[in-house]
Structure 1
Amino acid sequence: MMKNIQLKAMGKINLGLDVVRRRPDGYHEVRMVMQTVSLYDKVGITVEDQPGIRITANLSFLPLNENNIVYKAAKLLMDEFSIDQGVSISLEKHIPVAGGMAGGSTDGAAVLYGMNRLFSLGMGQKRLMELGLKLGADVPYCIMRGTALAEGIGEVLTPMPPMPDCWILIARPPFGVSTRFVYENLHLEKIDRHPDIDGIVRAIEDSDLEAMCARLENVLETVTIRKHPQIEEIKNFMRERGAVNALMSGSGPTVFGIFENERECRSAAEAVRERGMARQVYAVKPFNP
């Protein structure tokens, strides 16, 4: 039996994010186009003879107990399959925390995938995704990865062809945004325009980068940018520096810009850093498994 495994837990951006309605149970129904990017956290899992779940992390403010999604993921499988051995999980974070890039969800997804391998649980992707939904709406997508249309609360996934080739500049400003705050302050009845999600899907199917970029839109910006106008400033700055377009990912505050080539992307990254507009800045590529 394998004793340990090292995994890359990849982040995502939303090329389009629309909220269709608020359901009676309080959840919001969405239509989103999701894309995995080559920015990743490192997740290491080691099987231990001693029962229990032990977590170490490179960031001092992360909880290392049952409040961490990687703990919840490990416990879910231990309970489901009556695993009596323990695991040590090491977490090296690079994806912005609470940044709208599914950093927590992708770490949870990696633990499900890794423990499935380590303990020879024999689950296929579909079963892993069903279990992942118990941890959060983004987890099934983080197991699937690639380019996808997400509907429902984010768990109804339709795989798509890869997005057109490009470079992506990721910039996380030095403040946090509460997802709960954003959704609680999203007043759908006051929103008069919605993102053209079908248009984004068509543009990706046609491999048309320009048409895709022209439709980048995120309805949650109506809340987050009102509270944090710096997000709009970063988007505009990226466009001035050569981005075809720029958008906030998820509920924010991370902003991404889409560039046609690496040189422009890296030069814009340097400019964002010099201006002190963002604490974490990365030049990455789209990732498709």
Structure 2
Amino acid sequence: MTSYEHGLTRRQFAAGIAALSAGGIVSKVRAEVPKLSIDTHSHVFHRGLKLAAGRRYAPDYDAPLALYLQQLDQNGMTNGVLVQPSFLGTDNSYLVECLKATNGRLRGIAVVDPAVAADELRALDRAGVVGIRLNLVGQTLPDLALPEWKALLAEVKAMGWQVEIQRKAADLAMLAPRLLDLGVNVVLDHYTLPDPKLGIDDPGFQAVLKLGASRKVWVKISAPYRNGPNGEAFAKQAYPLLRTAFGVDHLLWGSDWPHTQFEATQNYAKNRKFLDELVTDADERARVLASPRALFRF
């Protein structure tokens, strides 16, 4: 590991070596490793990009890379994860462009066609993509027994990628075990999206909690507002259950910036502040923010 990765400048590192060579008595030389604070769920886009056919929604504003990096800096976040927006379909070119521009500060979750070529997946991997997203809201559930899905998921497993899913909890409880049977890591979006009327009492949510025993499922504690008008109250009920079932190291915080379709009521700082209310213990909160390191290869 280089001195820079330990948070030292070249001058500070040289000064330390000079002190040692001068014969000073040093009982312990320790470089503080910067604490990672990782935002695992965000989107970037601008209106010049080609939109996918059959999209459910398209924004009428820009959320470019520079503006996202500003959000990270202003809120004390060291790293971020860009998730391909559904309205851009399988054209991940802007996502890749942004990853390459930030020299490892960001990672990506791509959207691909199940019949994608292995070479394309490897190119995405080299660019900093670490998984694929299945945004299944309003979509037919995929038949994972089909040859193209088996081939894709075999590649995902071989590369150590994750499969991130956005879908209601009742369907996740059926779909996630099938993915686990194929040996891939699974990430569930936005508290697993139980029925807002039932909240933690949703049988689907209760079934998802049992997946924690696999140690191959992670849950994003992100976008409580996508869980109905009482989303924050639900999140505060759900968090201790998720923590018990999955463990702090399998819970992932995400800003969901720029909060598509909720822009009028949400912003980055508000969502980061809610994490402080949700996870009141500072050490536990720091663990939540740093735990994505291995999964996302930071």
Q: Same fold (TM over 0.5)?
A: no
Larger radius of gyration: 2
TM superposition score normalised by structure 2: 0.25
Query: Could you say which structure has the higher strand fraction?
Result: 1
Choose between structure 1 and 2: higher helix proportion.
Answer: 2
**TM-score, with length taken from structure 1:** 0.26
